[in-house]
Amino acid sequence: MKPLLEIADLGVAFRTSSSLIHAVVDVSLTVSAGERVGVIGESGSGKSVMARAIMRLDDPRRTQYATSSRITLDGRQILALPEREVHRLRGDAVSMIFQNPMHSLNPAFTVGQQMDAVLKAHRKLPGRDRRARIVDALGAVDLPAPGDLVDRYPHELSGGQRQRVMVAQAILCEPSLIIADEPTSALDVTAQDTVLDVLERLSRDKAIAVLMITHDMGVVARFCETVNVMYGGRLVETGPVGDIFAAPRHPYTAALLAATPNPAAPARTLHPIPGTQTTRRGSASTACAFIARCPHATTLCKQAPALRQIRANHRVACHYAEELDLKAAG
Amino acid sequence: MTRLLPALRILAIIWVVITVVFVTLRLTPGDPAELLLGPTAGRQDVQERLADIRAQYGLDQPIPVQYAIFVGNVLQGDLGESNRSARPVISMIAAAAPVTIWLIVLSVGTAIPISIFLGMIAAARRGRTLDRGIRSLATLCMAVPSFWLGLLFLQWFASGLGWFPSRGYVAPLTDPGGFMMHMALPVITLAIFLVGTLTRFVYTETADTLQRDYITVSRAMGLASRTILFRFAAKNSLTPLIIVVGVEIGTLIGGAVIVEEVFGLPGLGRLLLGAVMSRDYPVVQGTILVITVAVILINIAAEMLYRYITPQARS
């Protein structure tokens, strides 16, 4: 089956006055229809840049895509499309949910006015039908009294409610893909739970694929079927969530898991990853991105490892993927 | 109670203004009666006339009584008489006020749409040539002195080309065409200064709004750029303009003093300037009292309108 979204060899760099910053290097991943895929990594790993590239949201005057990059959505070459056509896809075939619901809604307009503008941009419907559809969408994300909510202003809603409004707005035009860029990071635990529940149910019921960008292993564990681990702008490990959580094969993935609290084993000591991720200026480095912080690094690691298959659907970019005893390291 | 607060605030501010004007009158060096009498003091019957004035204004009374009389008079609309023409100050102000009101209303009315257009276009084209051009123009508009620009316009369009009358004023109801012709150059002169200030304000506000997350969301949801700019960004970036225009009214009255003088418009500014030149204290104080109260009321109205329009401030 052809995947819904296929990202191949994506490279994204930003021009600054003095240099070129390589935010994403050679990333390839696929999302099938209705699939829930996670992208995890710490701040600066390039995960959000990759997400924005799918919708081509970055300023074209300072963003440079590597020539070999391809992003194929439903057969359309996103990076080759004229801006007008990409614009038509935004909010229609693909929609996006952002991190901070407190700032994602326009304070000067009611929930209904904002959602109506989205619907109007993509569908020719009479006003009454649009309103009915908006109320339906608000109901679908479990918001109480959706008929009243339409006429409320954002400041009258809680953070969790606002994020559910964002989800409702995202599903208005029945997209085939929702890109969720850290949708729960700014919410308290209860609100996180509700938003993830709603997203998961919508994904199942309406066969909407979700690309979940997060730094939280807990979100990946409960929400995603497949996970892509990014570090330093590169993909370091990808595979089914169950496999990777049970047996991570990249030292970074293992380190991330060791740094994540596990409610099942509260007594376990957490291990932070030493050092910090570095920005890649000038030409892309040829060494493994994790070399500086990896406890297992050798001279061989000065040559970047390719992403290679070690099991069905499980790929790792580490020279020692088969040999390392990573559970012990975790 | 909360509903009454704004009204009480307005009354309190007006009371302060009246008191300040009263105190200023007492602080002016010399005998207030002599000051009120003006340069005619020194004639034969001067003692008699001073006594008359003291009795008329209650200046022979103790200060608190004088204060009570002054407040009472002001509240009844009695601002005294000009010591030049002996006309009641209030009727002089009533005759001059419409000219200034027209001048300011037309200037603001001209400047606002132009500033919104220029400021928003510059913000949307931030960092490009058009943006730099508009912002340089705005700075130039602010920097050029009104009196010089007014004189330049007079020389070019009134004396030189003869398109507009050079001085004077015709009431709009008497001769609408003549009114427009007489007002055109003064309004343009004053509007140019205002366009400079307001364009820069609209630019800053819009550029800031366009950086907000909700604008990125609107783009990510596929809204057209012009819908985003002129509807979703505009409502956020333009509502503060109401407050700014309110604040600018004070500056505009200062500008009106100059523009009215240059173009010979018989407005409040010219009345005030003339009274200052001839030391006509009752007129100076009456005019300042009226202008101050008007500026305060306009600002309070602007604030109330802003609160009404902004949903977060309303509740």
Cα dihedral value B26, B30, B36, B42, nearest 10: 170
Smallest Cα distance from A106 to chain B, Å: 5
Which amino acid, A42? E
Q: Are A99 and A185 in contact (CB under 8 A)?
A: yes
How many other C-beta atoms can be found within 10 angstroms of the C-beta atom of residue B40? 12
What are the backbone dihedrals phi and psi of residue B126, each rounded to the nearest 5 degrees, phi first?
-50, 130
Give the Cα separation of A283 and A261 in Å (integer).
37
Region A233-260: what's the mean pLDDT? Answer: 90
- Closest Cα partner for A51 from A4, A7, A86, A87? A7
Q: Are A236 and A230 in contact (CB under 8 A)?
A: yes
Range of the domain at A58: 5-103+175-329
pLDDT in tens, A91-129: 999 999 998 888 999 999 999 999 999 999 999 999 899
- List of chain A residues whose C-beta atoms are within 8 Å of the C-beta of residue B217: 96, 98, 104-105, 166
C-alpha distances in angstroms, A266 versus A188, A253, A260? 20, 20, 11
The closest CB to that of A104, out of B217, B236, B310, belongs to B217
The fold of the B96-314 domain, in CATH, is MetI-like fold (1.10.3720)
Model confidence band, residue A330 (pLDDT cutoffs 50, 70, 90): very low
- List of chain A residues whose C-beta atoms are within 8 Å of the C-beta of residue B220: 55, 57, 90-91, 95-96, 98
The closest CB to that of B222, out of A87, A100, A105, belongs to A87
Hey, are the CB atoms on A117 and B227 less than 8 Å from each other? yes
Sign of the torsion formed by the C-alpha atoms of B8, B12, B18 and B19: positive
Identify whether A233 is part of a domain. Answer: yes
Determine the pLDDT at residue A268.
72
b or e along A139-162 (b: 16 or more beta carbons within 10 Å of the residue's beta carbon)? ebbbbeebeebbebbbeebeebbb
Smallest Cα distance from B212 to chain A, Å: 7
Going from N- to C-terminal start, the domains of chain B cover 5-75, 96-314
Give the Cα separation of A247 and A254 in Å (integer).
8
- List of chain A residues whose C-beta atoms are within 8 Å of the C-beta of residue B237: none
Identify whether A254 is part of a domain. Answer: yes
pLDDT in tens, B56-82: 767 777 888 888 888 888 888 888 888
Give the bridge partners for A314, in sequence order: A311
Q: Which long-range contacts (CB under 8 A, 24 or more apart) does B73-82 make?
A: B74/B18, B74/B289, B79/B282, B79/B285, B79/B286, B79/B289, B79/B290, B80/B36, B80/B282, B80/B285, B80/B286, B81/B282, B82/B275, B82/B280, B82/B282, B82/B283
Is the confidence at residue B1, as pLDDT, over 60?
no
Is the confidence at residue A317, as pLDDT, over 50?
yes
Identify whether A276 is part of a domain. Answer: yes
So what's the ipTM on this one?
A: 0.86
Is the confidence at residue A328, as pLDDT, over 60?
no
The closest CB to that of A155, out of B223, B232, B312, belongs to B312
Is the confidence at residue B38, as pLDDT, over 70?
no
Is the confidence at residue B151, as pLDDT, over 90?
no
Q: Are A78 and A86 in contact (CB under 8 A)?
A: yes
Relative to beta strand A209-214, strand A36-40 is parallel
Give the Cα separation of B20 and A264 in Å (integer).
74
Hey, are the CB atoms on B312 and A57 less than 8 Å from each other? no
Identify whether A146 is part of a domain. Answer: no
What CATH number is associated with residue A42? 3.40.50.300
Relative to beta strand A234-240, strand A314-316 is antiparallel
Report which of residues B262 and B172 the model is more confident about. Answer: B262
Smallest Cα distance from B198 to chain A, Å: 21
B214 to chain A: closest CA residue? A104
Model confidence band, residue A33 (pLDDT cutoffs 50, 70, 90): very high
Give the Cα separation of A265 and B173 in Å (integer).
87
Task: Give the mean pLDDT of chain A.
Answer: 89
Give the Cα separation of A240 and A93 in Å (integer).
25
C-alpha distances in angstroms, B187 versus A281, B120, B199? 55, 23, 17
pLDDT in tens, A123-164: 999 989 999 999 999 999 999 999 999 999 999 999 999 999
Residue A28 DSSP SS3 = strand
A166 to chain B: closest CA residue? B217
Smallest Cα distance from B130 to chain A, Å: 16
Residue B95 DSSP SS3 = helix
Identify whether A168 is part of a domain. Answer: no
Give the Cα separation of B194 and B201 in Å (integer).
11
The closest CB to that of B213, out of A103, A122, A153, belongs to A103
The residues on B that touch A, with CB distances below 8 Å, are 212-214, 216-224, 227, 231-232, 235-236, 239, 310-312, 315
Is the confidence at residue B203, as pLDDT, over 70?
yes
**Helix or strand holding residue A299 (H, E):** none
What domain count does chain A have? Answer: 1
List the single range of A288-292, B60-64, B92-96, B223-227 with lowest mean pLDDT. B60-64
Give the Cα separation of B174 and A196 in Å (integer).
71
Hey, are the CB atoms on B220 and A98 less than 8 Å from each other? yes
